[in-house]
Structure 1
Amino acid sequence: MAEGGGGFNIHPMEQFLLKPLFGGDEIHWYTPTNATLWLGITVVAVSLLMVFGSRGRALIPSRGQSMAELTYGFVYKMVEDVTGKHGVKYFPYVITLFLFILFANLLGLIPTSFSTTSHIAVTVILALAVFISVTAIGFAKHGAGFLKLFWVSSAPTVALRCVLALIEVISYFVRPISHSVRLAGNIMAGHAVLKVFAGFAGALGLFSVVPILAISTIYALELMVAVVQAYVFAILTCVYLNDALHPGH
């Protein structure tokens, strides 16, 4: 609502605006922004955990080493369970995606920070990278045999197989859209709700107990969403990899 009116002055979408780091109003492709800053911080945070946290390789691990080893083992088992032994070679790519999204989600929950994964421009690049990589792997390994992925041979008639093939092709090309929108939408929605309740808490003064309790509950939920969305993105990547490795299954 407009300033000076009788209502609340809450703008939940302002937190997602890109702003130049060094002043000015115009943003070009080379302009460092708040998104650039927090993308860089995400990379540094992942490096601190996986590189510096585990470089000691102590027999009695430190907390950092324990976290790094647990994360490594968790993602490795996920890749192996979904894609099989042949998919383990792509484990570095999957764990990189998982850790980047996980830390970007968690860092975005720090007050006054910037949530990079709330922007479709970020998530669609991640999703397109998966889509293009998986498609390239499928054709590189199977050639035209990769097209078996779209042909449902168990269907009783040829006409039905053709209809199902069309549906499979459409669903395949929709993958990067659903892959990216799911992540960005969940993160953006949660942050917007937090901002709304924070606005109520600031406006109600002494009567802000209920909004503060709601913020605490939603924040705990958002922590869970941050982890779950990173996991969902990674496991869907594994499912797509499995399709590329075993298109006839």
Structure 2
Amino acid sequence: MATETQGEGGGLEFHPMDQFIIKPLFGGDAVNWYTPTNATLWMALAVLAVFALLVLGTSKRSVVPGRVQSVAELAYGFIYKMVEDICGKDGVKYFPYIMTLFMFIVFANFLGLLPMAFTPTSHIAVTALMAFAVFFGVTILGFVKNGASFLGLFWVSSAPLPLRPILALIEVISYFVRPVSHSIRLAGNMMAGHAVIKVFAGFAAIAAIAPLSVIAITAMYGLEVLVSFIQAYVFTILTCVYLKDALHPHH
């Protein structure tokens, strides 16, 4: 995951942010909307990994499941219970989308931990697209399901009457900030962890501190494995919370 270059004075120059540069797969420097890039490749690999686990891994549907089928069933049950507990029975019909979202994020995060890999979820463009899709989706659903009464989500009827307009303004601002925080949280955590690992990996080339650097890399790598899952979980559970607000704005 780390690369070092020799500086003019013989020292090492570390570039922990180089790993986040979008590069065309087939040479050149120009990146257009249609250009296949390293981000495209690793997102495609994440999709293929999800397909392999959930489709190919469960194709036999054995009564006594193997390891791959057990993992797929565990993921299925975990997300299904999350959706049912937060959104209620009305939210179960949206389970396929939420399951797909979780599996894509978790695989993109985990694949990004491989040596020389690229982490698409460290880019705000990727996470913002998912966050805004959730935002517009639940907003449209809220109006379709509830009509104008969806606006009751912003009116805190339990508060004293003089405070309600102020609270309504705060609620509106908070609502429109959702996709920003939703996307920045995931991208920021993935970028920060990978950058720290690369910094420690760069220092591993210095013999005097190499043992400490290796220990730090191991600790950070273990933490990033945990963070990769937690961030996928947080993104998904917030999606469920937003969906619940669209389905039950007065609760």
Shorter-chain TM range is: over 0.9
How far the C-alpha of 1:32 sits from its partner, in A, is 0.5
Per the alignment, residue 149 of structure 1 pairs with 153
| Aligned partner letter, 1:8 | L
Per the alignment, residue 106 of structure 1 pairs with 110
Q: Once the two structures are superposed, what CA deviation does each residue of 1:108-159 show, in whole Å capped at 9, x if it has no partner? A: 00010000000000000000000000001100000000000000001112x3
1:229 maps to 2:231: yes
Aligned mate of 1:198, from 159, 180, 201: 201
TM-score normalised to structure 1 length: 0.97
TM-score normalised to structure 2 length: 0.96
How far the C-alpha of 1:230 sits from its partner, in A, is 0.3
Whether the 8 Å CA contact 2:203–2:209 is kept in 1: the answer is: no
Q: Alpha carbon RMSD of aligned pairs, Å? A: 1.2
Distance (Å, rounded) in 2 between the aligned partners of 1:94 and 1:25: 36
Q: Once the two structures are superposed, what CA deviation does each residue of 1:1-53 show, in whole Å capped at 9, x if it has no partner? A: 98223643100000000111000111111110000100100000000000000
Per the alignment, residue 185 of structure 1 pairs with 188
Per the alignment, residue 209 of structure 1 pairs with 211
**Superposed, which structure 2 residues align to 1:17-28 within 5 Å?**
17-28=21-32
| Aligned partner letter, 1:152 | V
Select between 174-183 and 58-67 the one with higher mean Cα deviation.
58-67
Aligned mate of 1:15, from 8, 15, 19: 19
Distance (Å, rounded) in 2 between the aligned partners of 1:2 and 1:48: 42
Per the alignment, residue 34 of structure 2 pairs with 30
Give the fraction of aligned pairs with identical amino acids, expressed as a percent: 64
Aligned mate of 2:171, from 168, 171, 177: 168
Structure 1: 5+ residue stretches without partners: none
- The count of corresponding residues between Structure 1 and Structure 2 is 247
How far the C-alpha of 1:83 sits from its partner, in A, is 0.5
Distance (Å, rounded) in 2 between the aligned partners of 1:189 and 1:115: 12
How far the C-alpha of 1:98 sits from its partner, in A, is 0.3
Per the alignment, residue 63 of structure 1 pairs with 67
> Where do 4+ consecutive residues of structure 1 move more than 3 Å?
none
Per the alignment, residue 47 of structure 2 pairs with 43
| Aligned partner letter, 1:102 | V
Distance (Å, rounded) in 1 between the aligned partners of 2:243 and 2:218: 38
**Superposed, which structure 2 residues align to 1:72-87 within 5 Å?**
72-87=76-91
Distance (Å, rounded) in 1 between the aligned partners of 2:73 and 2:219: 30
